[in-house]
Amino acid sequence: MKYREDEILEEVKEYIGSTYDQHYSTTEDGFQVMDMIKQLGIDKDFCQASSNKVIQYGEMVGFDTDMVGPYGYCADISRSFVVDNKFNKEQKKLYSMAKEQIDYNSKLIKNGMAFEEFVEKCWVLPQEYYPNRYSVMVHGIGLCDEWPAIRYPDDGGERTGVFKKNMTITVESYIGKVKGKEGVKLEQQYLVGENGLELMSHHPLEDIK
């Protein structure tokens, strides 16, 4: 065949199979969150976050894109906004902490740095927010969310590899308490360069004073 479609599809299937136990895995045997939801028979309405609620001024709204565009390129950023852009004291605190975590962890990552070293040196999430932490601090990005899935120190995840030049990754943060009124989700996408990270997501974060 001119374009080797069958051979390429087999390569893709093999790759997907080899990374199946990464980002959304919940158990050591690679069992997926969606597997469980389908077996429970509740997948029909899963991830249907829309409702008839009207967003009010002063409320916080967040989104995580996971957007697959032309040629399968995945753009994965997260942003949180306040309607009318007037942050109250608590919203400013949450946003500033999430931004601090993103900035700290992204500056820490260098070409050749071991994942294990990153986990040891990463920004320390305050204990009051730790129970509601996000599933990963860093993950690979390509055609979708990919290897590596680098989790918080107590959560396992990938520890054996190293960051290498030309890897594309996202650095994430969620700051919010269990049963808290609001939380802030931020995520930036980067290219690993020779001497640090190059920002790929250019929609600016909020300038919180």
CA geometry: angle at 54 spanning 43 and 66, to 5°?
A: 45
Rounded to two decimals, the pTM is: 0.76
The Cα–Cα gap between 23 and 13 comes to 17
Superfamily (CATH H level) for 51-199? Creatinase/methionine aminopeptidase superfamily (3.90.230.10)
Q: Domain ranges for the chain, please list them.
A: 1-48, 51-199
Q: Report the alpha-carbon distance of residue 194 to residue 197 in Å, rounded.
A: 8
Model confidence over 70-90: pLDDT tens digits?
Answer: 777 788 999 999 999 899 999
Distances (CA, A) of 130 to 38, 127, 153, 178: 29, 5, 11, 9
* Better-predicted residue by pLDDT, 129 or 12: 129
Q: What is the pLDDT of residues 17-52, one digit of tens each?
A: 666 555 555 555 555 556 666 666 666 655 555 567
How many of the other CB atoms lie within 10 Å of CB of 98? 26
Query: What percent of the chain has a predicted confidence (pLDDT) above 70?
Result: 80
